[in-house]
């Protein structure tokens, strides 16, 4: 459109953009059209930049929400995890703890550390890991509830949100009995750890996630002394960050290229699965990667059948944190990290190898979303009961029984001492 000199900074920028998009377009069909003129090249770079900023803001808001809980979140999680002696209760402990902090990576990393220090055995830790996989699906379900004002979009959004729930719940229903009665995951993980790593223990090299933790959230939490105000602020910002993130993804990255996007990322189940693994491994949050799909499905950018393999891949990608943490701990910790990987790998093999299983899960999610769309209060009840009320009640009942047992034992000891 305009002649630009070779040494002009904008010309150099466009050259860089042209080089970047030329490389990418050999593998990214939906970017080929974007590379045809300079204005679209600039839009590509701006779009990627906006996505990065919105993801960073989302992660900051999550960190701020955790910081708003102060020491309570960490101590609460550690206390309930340390009481996970009963496998059935451990399952709900992992679910509740992860639903509260919305990070299965955090829960699994803490479990790895507790196994490494001997606080939990592998057999006690595996149910907690299973529960964490279910608890992390809450975010996508909450994002789906944001479309409640539009009946059509709400139905599709709910199906995309709850299919992640159902996928992990089904795998728990399959694998938990096998682990409880036969030690299926624990025995295989220990065997694989010994076969691959032997008795090697790698010394810790520090926290590799320093890039996303600059202490800003903790500083804000320290400035605002009122816990209630801090909590409200963190949840409002988190809600806004989700809205911003979905809006940026929809407008800046996808735009009018939905057909080409489908061909690139979601054309084949194996390709969609691979991108789910890759993206989640990079950002280390299956909550974020799966939540991105909800508005895409809700706005008919992609179909649920194409999104489901991506969700399965996201489950695989989130295991990387625990594997890295275990690599710098001990052989016992590596065993639980491998068990986490095997849990998600089992689901991936079942649903990626058998198309009928995927179709059945998609069909069930659609039917359930139709029920919620007709009676929307069912969606709220489902979230509250599944992720909070049921786990909290079972854990409370279990702890009450333990306390009563402890009191009875103390009375028996005192009685014996008095008789002496």
pLDDT of 12 reads 43
- In-domain check, residue 151: yes
Q: What is the pLDDT along the chain (420 residues), one digit of tens a residue?
A: 444 444 444 454 444 345 434 444 444 444 444 445 555 556 666 767 777 777 677 667 766 665 665 544 445 555 555 566 688 888 888 888 888 776 777 777 778 777 877 778 888 889 999 999 999 888 888 888 878 888 888 999 999 999 999 999 999 999 999 999 999 999 999 999 888 876 554 444 344 344 444 566 666 766 776 667 776 777 677 667 766 765 676 565 445 555 555 567 787 889 899 988 988 877 667 777 888 888 889 988 888 999 999 999 999 988 876 777 676 666 777 888 899 999 999 999 999 999 999 999 999 999 999 999 988 888 888 988 888 888 888 777 777 776 666 666 666 766 666 666
- In-domain check, residue 334: yes
pLDDT of 127 reads 92
Please write down the HEC assignment for all residues of the chain. CCCCCCCCHHHHHHHHHHHHHHHHHCCCHHHCCHHHCHHHHHHHHHHHHHHHHHHHHHHHHHHHHHHHCCHHHHHHHHHHHHCCCCHHHHHHHHHHHHHHHCCHHHHHHHHHHHHHCCCCCHHHHHHHHHHHHHHCCHHHHHHHHCCCCCHHHHHHHHHHHHHHHHHHHHHHHHHHHHHHHHCHHHHHHHHHHHHHCCCCCCCCCCCCCHHHCCCHHHHHHHHCCCHHHHHHHHHHHHHHHHHHHHHHHHHHHHCCCHHHHHHHCCCCHHHHHHHHHHHHHHHCCHHHHHHHHHHHHHCCCCCHHHHHHHHHHHHHHCCHHHHHHHHCCCHHHHHHHHHHHHHHHHHHHHHHHCHHHHHHHHHHHHHHHHHHHHCCHHHHHHHHHHHHHHHHHHHHHHHHHHHHHHHHHHHHHHHHHHHC
- In-domain check, residue 234: no
- In-domain check, residue 273: yes
pLDDT of 160 reads 92
Split into its structural domains, the chain has a count of: 1
pLDDT of 364 reads 94
- In-domain check, residue 143: yes
pLDDT of 172 reads 95
- In-domain check, residue 117: yes
- In-domain check, residue 39: no
- In-domain check, residue 18: no
pLDDT, tens only, 219-243: 676 677 666 777 677 767 766 776 6
The range of the structural domain enclosing residue 337 comes to: 77-212+268-419
pLDDT of 126 reads 93
pLDDT of 40 reads 58
């Amino acid at each position: 459109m305009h002649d630009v000199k070779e040494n002009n900074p904008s010309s150099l920028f466009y050259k860089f953009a042209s080089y970047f998009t030329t490389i990418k377009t050999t593998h990214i069909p939906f970017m080929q059209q974007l590379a045809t003129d300079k204005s679209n090249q600039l839009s590509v770079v701006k779009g990627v930049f906006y996505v990065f900023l919105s993801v960073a803001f989302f992660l900051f808001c999550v960190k701020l929400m955790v910081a708003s809980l102060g020491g309570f979140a960490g101590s609460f999680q550690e206390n309930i995890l340390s009481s996970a002696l009963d496998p059935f209760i451990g399952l709900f402990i992992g679910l509740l703890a992860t639903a509260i902090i919305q990070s299965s990576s955090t829960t699994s990393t803490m479990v790895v550390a507790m196994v490494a220090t001997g606080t939990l055995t592998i057999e006690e830790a595996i149910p907690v890991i299973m529960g964490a996989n279910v608890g992390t699906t809450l975010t996508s379900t909450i994002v789906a509830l944001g479309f409640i004002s539009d009946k059509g979009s709400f139905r599709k959004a709910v199906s995309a949100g709850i299919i992640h729930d159902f996928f992990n719940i089904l795998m728990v229903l399959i694998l938990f009995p096998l682990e409880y009665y036969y030690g299926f995951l624990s025995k295989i993980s220990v065997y694989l750890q010994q076969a691959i790593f032997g008795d090697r223990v790698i010394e810790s090299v520090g926290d590799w996630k320093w890039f996303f933790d600059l202490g800003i959230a903790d500083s804000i939490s320290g400035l605002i002394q009122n816990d209630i105000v801090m909590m409200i602020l963190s949840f409002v910002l988190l809600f806004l960050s989700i809205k911003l993130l979905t809006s940026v993804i929809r407008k800046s990255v996808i735009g009018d290229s939905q057909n080409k996007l489908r061909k690139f990322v979601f054309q084949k189940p194996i390709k969609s699965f691979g991108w789910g693994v890759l993206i989640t491994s990079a950002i280390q949050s299956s909550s974020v990667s799966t939540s991105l799909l909800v508005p895409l499905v809700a706005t008919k950018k992609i179909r649920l059948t194409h999104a489901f393999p991506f969700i399965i891949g996201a489950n695989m990608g989130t295991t990387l944190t625990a594997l890295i943490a275990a690599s710098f701990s001990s052989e016992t910790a590596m065993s639980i990290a491998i068990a986490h990987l095997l849990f998600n790998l089992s689901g991936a093999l079942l649903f990626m190898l058998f198309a009928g299983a995927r179709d059945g899960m998609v069909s069930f999610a659609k039917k359930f979303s139709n029920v919620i769309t007709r009676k929307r209060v069912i969606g709220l009840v489902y979230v509250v009961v599944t992720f909070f009320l049921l786990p909290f009640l079972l854990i409370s009942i279990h702890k009450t029984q333990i306390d009563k047992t402890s009191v009875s034992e103390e009375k028996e000891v005192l009685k014996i001492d008095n008789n002496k």
